[in-house]
């Protein structure tokens, strides 16, 4: 089962997920990755063009499921989501690298 399926199942059957929440994938995102959790965030790399979508008088906000490590998830739980995102900025998080080192 892939991480998106796990997250969707958790959202539907257990706890409704939203912005700044995290989910435990139960396994690494990809082989050789230490990212085994997901963090629901705004799609910062792409800005509002991806985040906000208006079509036929409907408004949709797209969120990003960012793979994170357990230590990053623990950091978020202790210091808050905004502190985690600041930490990502400070360490120059390589968002697209599944083998990236943890920032927290």
The dihedrals phi and psi of 29, each to the nearest 5 degrees, come to -60, -45
- Which one is predicted more confidently, 37 or 95? 37
Instruction: Give me the mean pLDDT over the 97-103 stretch.
Output: 93
Going from the C-alpha of 97 to that of each of 10, 16, 40, 63, 70, the distances in angstroms are 25, 28, 17, 19, 16
The model's pTM is 0.83
d(CA 8, CA 91): 29
Determine the pLDDT at residue 36: 94
5-58, pLDDT tens digit by residue? 778 887 778 778 889 999 999 889 888 899 999 999 988 766 677 777 777 888
Select from 13, 9, 75 the least CA-distant residue to 39.
75
Which pLDDT value is given to residue 1?
Answer: 59
């Amino acid at each position: 089962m892939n991480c998106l399926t796990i997250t969707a199942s958790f959202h539907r059957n257990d706890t409704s997920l939203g912005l700044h929440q995290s989910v435990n994938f139960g396994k690494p995102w990809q082989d050789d990755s230490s990212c085994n959790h997901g963090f629901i965030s705004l799609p910062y790399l792409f800005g509002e063009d991806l985040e906000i979508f208006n079509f036929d008088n409907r408004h949709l906000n797209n969120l990003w499921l960012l793979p994170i490590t357990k230590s990053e998830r623990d950091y978020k739980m202790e210091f808050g989501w905004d502190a985690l995102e600041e930490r990502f900025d400070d360490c120059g998080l390589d968002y697209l690298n599944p083998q990236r080192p943890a920032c927290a």
